[in-house]
Structure 1
């Protein structure tokens, strides 16, 4: 799976330009497939989305969209519209490449903000889907590269099983966005993408790890992060492997996976924390955590566990949280108790700590 960035925007725009130029001599005043917009207006929308996303990042928008719009000049034809898509895509690509890590800008869903990789993924999605809408009306064949479609699914649609039987990533993406049908699957009539969560915890932030980043971590990579000491602790790689397998099995629920603990002063990743899965039938959700050795003793894990637990308890279905440690892991036990967890009866040979909803 690919991590999202400028290269993926460039690839998506190049694909779109090739498809659309093959139909530049057709009727672009006709409505794009499945939309109320004309093909020309849909092309304008693609370019406008890219400019808007670039403005969000460069303007560091906090709680609303930057009041900026991009429209085609009056009288612009198909070739001009394609050039606008290419130009706007290049702007977004450059902005994504140069936006410092950790910068987040306003986007309403799901948590009010997205980082540069999120805006890259949304930009790729806009161009792939709306190029399809135009091509569908104008009668030209198009199918984006499979790796690019898989990357979009992994970043923005982690709740969608990535390997639906007998389908390509493109077919899955079309179905997930209400543009296609799949055997044995109900049509999608309403959908939203999922930008990874991020929330503060004192000197660190918890950043939700995408399936693509988790796969990279599980394979020995960095997950797109810079780690204090050069690499994560072994437990983080184990958790990343669990997330990767849950995504492949189609049972991953956004928000209830793994988070990287990132020190906001220098954007260095110092550990991993997260859930072993969504809440069970009794409303209990199990947490796990670790830190790289150089980050221990500064209270990072305690503050992060408090923040993660508070987030979990905002969900009505959660009634309690559980942390399980080996008897000899005294530092982890101290993290749990400092975060408000209380000792529970042992689980087999391990110590258990719980936090109940008040």
Structure 2
């Protein structure tokens, strides 16, 4: 957050003596002055929601600059509001989520960080276009945004060109122009004892190697099955076929915020409305009903979608604990072969 704001303030602070009012900011309807104020408004709005733990709606306040505050004043306000959002992000516990309307009505601290960085990068670009300035943010900032709130966008030749294309501000060879767009915070599904937290491409990259994906795991986790599944998620992202709701979820205990396992779909539902599900638990979390509880919740969510008629699970013939989980969750055995047993929930 600090880096994005520093780049913005450094660039715009050098041209505060120029006329901003009445100069259209890139493709926006706002002028450059209005766009600069909008950056500050977004930063403090995000800080207020995250710090205030807002759950149902925006925090009801507005930002206004003092009468007579010039362009330099607007830049100072951007700097201050960026510092407030950075402080709110640093001090918010990982499990805290606050209101954001799209697409699932909440975001965690990482989501608010990515949204804040996106607002700064994109609108600094808009102002730069209006004023005829050259601007290209650090690639790692663009990658930070793309791998957290644009999980549905296939990586392109460079992170900055991809982010500009994804937000209707540029073109990419071989891809149609974007006229309508949105970012995508991760989905979280709650149960009595758990939250199923959608894994972003950034978390999947980390989990697929030796990292923790940003989660605090119980001893022994994450296990190999989770790492393999995370690698598949990132491969789908690279191939441009990842749809985040149909990816992986980490199972986090409400009581202590510790991750105990993972569960998710192998791909999007097929043309017949079938979607396959899989799961694993860290050994120390087994025997407590967590897998059954999570499976019931995630299956119910899937079956509540218009495109799904059947949730399918394939397990090894000798994996009796997993078969018992499926039976307790209401799945029915429908087929078997020498190696696997297939269960369905309709």
Q: TM-score under structure 1 normalisation?
A: 0.94
**Which residue of 79, 83, 87 maps to 1:94?**
87
1:144-175 Cα distance to aligned partner (Å, 9 max, x none) = 1112111211111111111x3xx311111111
Residue 221 (structure 1) aligned with residue 190 (structure 2): no
The structure, 1 or 2, with the larger RCO (C-alpha pairs under 8 Å, 6+ apart) is 1
Q: Provide the rounded CA distance (Å) in 2 between the counterparts of 1:272 and 1:52.
A: 33
Q: Report how far residue 126 of structure 1 moved.
A: 0.4
**Which residue of 150, 164, 183 maps to 2:173?**
183
For 2:341, the equivalent position in structure 1 comes to: 351
For 1:168, the equivalent position in structure 2 comes to: 158
Q: Provide the rounded CA distance (Å) in 2 between the counterparts of 1:92 and 1:296.
A: 39
Q: Report how far residue 230 of structure 1 moved.
A: 5.0
Q: Report how far residue 250 of structure 1 moved.
A: 1.1
Contact 2:56 2:99 in 1 (8 A): yes
Q: Report how far residue 309 of structure 1 moved.
A: 0.6
Q: Provide the rounded CA distance (Å) in 1 between the counterparts of 2:304 and 2:3.
A: 39
1:200-256 Cα distance to aligned partner (Å, 9 max, x none) = 122011000000101001111100011011521211111001111111111101211
For 1:23, the equivalent position in structure 2 comes to: 15
Residue 282 (structure 1) aligned with residue 272 (structure 2): yes
For 2:285, the equivalent position in structure 1 comes to: 295
For 1:203, the equivalent position in structure 2 comes to: 193
Q: Report how far residue 348 of structure 1 moved.
A: 5.7
Q: Provide the rounded CA distance (Å) in 1 between the counterparts of 2:30 and 2:291.
A: 50
Change in CA separation of 1:314 and 1:347 when aligned onto 2, cut-off 3 Å: farther
Instruction: Name stretches of at least 5 consecutive residues in structure 2 with no aligned partner.
Output: none
Q: Secondary structure at the match of 2:66?
A: coil
For 2:71, the equivalent position in structure 1 comes to: 78
1:275-299 Cα distance to aligned partner (Å, 9 max, x none) = 0010112111110101111111111
Q: Report how far residue 45 of structure 1 moved.
A: 0.7
For 2:123, the equivalent position in structure 1 comes to: 130
Q: Secondary structure at the match of 1:179?
A: coil
For 2:311, the equivalent position in structure 1 comes to: 321
Residue 247 (structure 1) aligned with residue 232 (structure 2): no
Contact 1:196 1:207 in 2 (8 A): yes
1:286-341 Cα distance to aligned partner (Å, 9 max, x none) = 10101111111111110101110111112111110111111111111111111111
Contact 1:19 1:141 in 2 (8 A): no
Q: Secondary structure at the match of 2:244?
A: coil
Q: Provide the rounded CA distance (Å) in 2 between the counterparts of 1:327 and 1:47.
A: 58
Contact 1:305 1:339 in 2 (8 A): yes
- Structure 1 segments, 4+ long, off by >4 Å, are none
Q: Provide the rounded CA distance (Å) in 1 between the counterparts of 2:183 and 2:278.
A: 26
Contact 2:53 2:97 in 1 (8 A): yes
Q: Report how far residue 131 of structure 1 moved.
A: 0.4
Q: Secondary structure at the match of 2:296?
A: helix
Over aligned residues, Cα RMSD in angstroms? 1.1
Q: TM-score under structure 2 normalisation?
A: 0.97
Q: Provide the rounded CA distance (Å) in 2 between the counterparts of 1:168 and 1:25.
A: 33
Q: Report how far residue 25 of structure 1 moved.
A: 2.4
Change in CA separation of 1:31 and 1:347 when aligned onto 2, cut-off 3 Å: farther
**Which residue of 43, 46, 64 maps to 2:57?**
64
Q: Provide the rounded CA distance (Å) in 2 between the counterparts of 1:75 and 1:274.
A: 55
Instruction: Name stretches of at least 5 consecutive residues in structure 1 with no aligned partner.
Output: 1-8
Q: Secondary structure at the match of 1:255?
A: helix
Q: Provide the rounded CA distance (Å) in 2 between the counterparts of 1:290 and 1:231.
A: 11
For 1:341, the equivalent position in structure 2 comes to: 331
For 2:223, the equivalent position in structure 1 comes to: 233
Contact 1:276 1:286 in 2 (8 A): yes
Q: Report how far residue 23 of structure 1 moved.
A: 2.4
Q: Secondary structure at the match of 1:270?
A: strand
